[in-house]
Amino acid sequence: MTQAILPPSPDATQRLFARLFAGLEGEQGLAYLRALTLDRAMGAHVSSEQLWHLEGQRFLARHILKLVERGAQPG
Tally of structural domains, the chain: 1
- State how far the Cα of 68 lies from the Cα of 22, in Å rounded to an integer: 9
Q: Tell whether 6 is covered by a domain.
A: no
Q: Would residue 38 be called left, alpha or beta, if left means φ above 0 and alpha means ψ between -120 and 50 degrees? A: alpha
Q: Are 30 and 38 in contact (CB under 8 A)?
A: no
Q: Tell whether 2 is covered by a domain.
A: no
Which residues form the domain of 28?
11-37+46-72
Q: Tell whether 30 is covered by a domain.
A: yes
The structure's pTM equals 0.87
Q: pLDDT (tens digit, 0 to 9) for every residue of the chain, 75 residues total?
A: 688 999 999 999 999 999 999 999 999 999 999 999 999 999 999 999 999 999 999 999 999 999 999 999 987
H-assigned helices in 1-75: 10-20, 23-33, 48-72
Q: Are 34 and 66 in contact (CB under 8 A)?
A: no
